[in-house]
Amino acid sequence: MKILNFKEYRQGNLIGYFAVELDNGLIIKGLSVHKKNNSTWVAMPLHRFTTADGQESAQILVHFSDKNKDKEFKEYAKQELQRYLGKEI
């Protein structure tokens, strides 16, 4: 996995957005990194929208069907982002 870019955007627990390129060439844009208290995590890309009844909602665009693989991917992405930034998030 290679981090392609990082855009800092601090709002609430959001730190910023980044993109990755996987070993197979797949590029995933719109990952986000968050921090609250002593916990830091990566979230997969989301599509935010307003429902027909006016409610704000979001849908995850990319995910693993296996929850363990999803967790491993996010942890690896966080480690690679820290390596890219040269500091712990």
Q: What is the pLDDT of residues 11-22, one digit of tens each?
A: 999 999 999 999
pLDDT in tens, 36-85: 999 999 999 999 999 999 999 989 999 999 999 999 999 999 999 999 99
Domains and their CATH numbers in the chain? 2-85 (3.30.1120)
- Three-state helix/strand/coil letters over the chain: CEEEEEEEEEECCEEEEEEEECCCCCEEEEEEEEEECCEEEEECCEEEEECCCCCEEEEECCCCCCHHHHHHHHHHHHHHHHHHHCCCC
